[in-house]
């Protein structure tokens, strides 16, 4: 589990094709000392396991499904990526709860500077939008961001310069694909709460659920 607060921008150093997936080696400095083999790490929002490390790099393996569902399948040598080590019981929860289970990719519709801040618009389908609310949280390439505006074709996000400078957002442009993980809370609520057709509500049903 993660918080969406990016700790470091790593660089893809090596790529190796596997039978059903890819081995990815990433140069890292700031979080290298805290990561051990078998630890989880978020790479652009995707939770992966460290399988090897040396004095300058960590190596992870991504299966074919992950490559198809995320931007990891598009990686080339030299690409910059967002890195975050996994949450511990002592870690501050600075962003929101991010599982590292990317829901899919989405395209940047517009990306511009507005005054002192930046504004990002992302095109989203209903599969994503159903879990989004204005002022709610969303993870974009592993970054915990707050939705400023919700519309029929996507979302708008206001971003401060610090976040842009300390993540790969500064490398992005219109049309780029990004990894999206919607907030897990509305997804759990949808699963747990009864699926009710408003037209099927009756007094008896309401009483059965405890309403008087």
Could you read off the pLDDT of 153-191 as tens digits, one per residue?
999 999 999 999 999 999 999 999 999 999 998 888 877
Strand order in the sheet with 154-159: 143-146, 137-140, 177-182, 104-114, 117-123, 154-159, 149-151
Tens-place pLDDT, residues 14-63: 999 999 999 999 999 999 999 999 999 999 999 999 999 999 999 999 99
Coil, strand or helix at 65: helix
DSSP-based three-state secondary structure for 94: coil
Look at 58-62, 79-83, 155-159, 198-202 and tell me which has the smallest mean pLDDT.
198-202
- Identify the structural domains of the chain with CATH numbers, from first to last: 8-85 (2.40.30.20), 104-192 (2.40.30.20)
Contacts of 204 by beta carbon, 8 Å cutoff, 6+ apart:
none
Supply 1's token pair. 């589990």
Note whether 40 and 49 are within 8 A (CB): yes
- Which residues, 6+ apart, have CB-to-CB distance to 121 below 8 Å? 108, 109, 110, 111, 154, 155, 156, 157
Nearest-angstrom CA–CA distance, 131 and 137: 10
């Amino acid at each position: 589990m993660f918080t969406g607060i990016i700790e470091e921008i790593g660089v893809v150093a090596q790529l190796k094709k596997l039978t059903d997936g890819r081995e990815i080696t990433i140069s890292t400095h700031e979080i290298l000392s805290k990561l051990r083999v078998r630890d989880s790490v978020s790479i652009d929002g995707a939770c992966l396991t460290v399988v090897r490390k040396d004095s300058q790099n960590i190596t992870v393996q991504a299966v074919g499904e992950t490559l198809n569902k995320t931007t990891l399948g598009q990686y080339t040598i030299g690409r910059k990526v967002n890195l975050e080590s996994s949450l511990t019981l002592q870690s501050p929860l600075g962003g929101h709860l991010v599982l590292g289970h990317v829901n899919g990719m989405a395209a940047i519709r517009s990306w511009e500077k507005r005054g002192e801040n930046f504004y990002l618009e992302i095109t989203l389908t209903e599969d994503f939008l159903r879990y989004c609310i204005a002022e709610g949280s969303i993870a974009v390439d592993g970054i915990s961001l707050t939705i400023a505006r919700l519309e029929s074709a996507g979302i708008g996000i206001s971003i401060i310069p610090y976040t842009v400078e300390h993540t790969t957002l500064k490398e992005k442009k219109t049309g780029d694909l990004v990894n999206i993980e919607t907030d897990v809370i509305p997804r759990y609520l949808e699963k747990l709460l009864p699926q009710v057709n408003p037209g099927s509500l009756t007094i008896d049903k309401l009483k059965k659920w405890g309403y008087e």
